[in-house]
Amino acid sequence: MNICSRLPALLSVIACCISPQLSAQEIVVGQCAPLSGSLAHTGDAMVQGVRVAIEAANAAGGIHGQKIKLVQKDDGYDSERTVSCTQDMIRKEKAVALIGYAGTGNIAELLRRNVLAEANIPLIAPYTGGSVLRDPFNPYIFHIRAGYDDETRTMVDQFVATGLKRIAVFYQNDAFGQSGVSGVEKALDQHKLKVVVKASYEKNTEDIDAAVNIILKSNPQAVIMIAITRPAALFVKAALDRSPGLQVFSISVVNGEDIYRIAGDEFGRGVGITQVMPSPFSGTVKIVRDYQEAMKQHAPGQPFSYASFEEYVGARILIEGLRKAGPSPSSGAVLKALETVKVDVGGYKVAFGPKQRTGSSFVEVTIIGQNGMHLL
């Protein structure tokens, strides 16, 4: 038999051999997160939450027989690096979805430069509640957490209900902090009140002394912090050392255990923190039990935290969107699929729609207790 007569059989063998490889092509998901700089501790937890969710999904067979390839890179909490990192994710890594970015200003810069729009790519579970990312409506960002307006309203309502009406704001001087300040002002306006005083520190610094002096001179009864963990903890320590009766609350982006460790038991205990996720420590909700099991399996010895849990939930919802998008999806197909997601992932409900990109408004208040434990 000559080679020509054997060609159909040979081609059949080759096709048989290569088709499993083609069907196992990876689905690329990208994350640019602050793994260095002032938000590095939070960034480490964020990438861990996404990673364990995707590793668990891959261990269970992946999506339509395809594995998810997670690419995670450091943006240093710097807006320019966020832009260049995202462009690399889209152009070089060929990501079909982005997940778990941090920084209101960082993400706002992506919008300003039309990075997401030009690639027609979704970004899910950003670690921010900034209103500038939600209003006006933007179709590319899918929020799984309540906004800062929801968090600050909850704090203001609780303060006013207990008779605390002289409320000050300590904030980071950027889009993130200003968004939180706006939320406080709107919430106070509902009670016909005004902010007593507001004072800031600069992004990527810990220079809080001037803000402490400005705020304490106005003799407030309570302070709302729109800050990241270390500056918030240093503010707590300095302010409560000089004004022991002051009530201090923070929005959810801080780590309560770190505030307790940095500020110390004397000052850290009693600080309030609004949370936009169920407690990752309790295990009373199925999604929390799933998260804890994934952490034990894929990040043994690593602590549970609100930040890693939030991004675990975000990854679970993205995985649902990938399933809906079908085999080998494009970024546009994933975007359209996420738009249809209405899911209860084990006790935490998220619902998106054609004109709905904020999937949840869940908020509860926790108090830092002994050893940094969160008390409801």
Run means of pLDDT, 10 residues per run, the chain, 376 residues: 42 36 73 96 97 98 96 97 98 98 97 98 97 95 97 97 98 96 98 98 97 98 98 98 97 95 96 96 93 98 97 98 97 98 96 97 94 78
| Strand-pair category, 222-226 with 247-250 | parallel
Give CA–CA dist 88/30, Å, rounded: 9
pTM: 0.90
Give CA–CA dist 338/79, Å, rounded: 26
Q: What is the 3-state secondary structure (H, E, C) of 177-225?
A: HHHHHHHHHHHHHHCCCCCCCEEEECCCCCCCHHHHHHHHHCCCCEEEE
Check if 22-146+281-351 and 148-275 are the same fold.
yes
The strand pairing partners of 224, in sequence order, are: 169, 249
**DSSP tag of 165:** -
Which CATH number, 3.90.420.10, 3.90.1150.10, 2.40.50.140, 3.40.50.2300, labels domain 22-146+281-351? 3.40.50.2300
Residue 46: left if φ>0, alpha if ψ -120 to 50, beta else—which one? Answer: alpha
- Provide CB contacts within 8 A for 3, sequence distance 6+: none
User: What are the helix and strand counts (H, E) for the chain?
Assistant: 14, 14
Give the C-alpha distances (Å, rounded to integers) separating 282 from 24, 78, 174, 292.
Answer: 37, 34, 34, 10
**H helix runs in 245-285, sequence order:** 256-263, 265-268
Tell me whether the omega of the peptide bond preceding residue 303 falls within 30 degrees of 0, making it cis: no
Give CA–CA dist 120/181, Å, rounded: 31
- Provide CB contacts within 8 A for 19, sequence distance 6+: none
- 139 φ/ψ angles, rounded to the nearest 5 degrees: -75, -10
Predicted local distance difference test score (pLDDT) of residue 204: 93
Give CA–CA dist 112/117, Å, rounded: 10
Residue 371: left if φ>0, alpha if ψ -120 to 50, beta else—which one? Answer: left
- 99 φ/ψ angles, rounded to the nearest 5 degrees: -150, 150
What six digits make up the tokens of 209? 């002394």
CATH architecture of 148-275: 3-Layer(aba) Sandwich (3.40)
What six digits make up the tokens of 271? 């600080």
Give CA–CA dist 195/193, Å, rounded: 7
Give CA–CA dist 120/307, Å, rounded: 27
**DSSP tag of 325:** H
Q: Which residue has the tokens 């809080």?
A: 208
Q: Among 192, 168, 188, 156, which Cα is nearest to 246's?
A: 168
Predicted local distance difference test score (pLDDT) of residue 375: 80
- Provide CB contacts within 8 A for 100, sequence distance 6+: 31, 33, 46, 47, 49, 50, 124, 125, 126, 127, 311, 314, 315
Q: Among 101, 245, 247, 229, which Cα is nearest to 172's?
A: 229
Domain boundaries, the chain: 22-146+281-351, 148-275
What six digits make up the tokens of 44? 């480490």
Q: How far does Cα 147 stand from its chain's mean position?
A: 11
How many residues make up the chain in this entry?
376
Task: Give yes or no for a contact between 304 and 280, defined as CB atoms under 8 angstroms apart.
Answer: yes
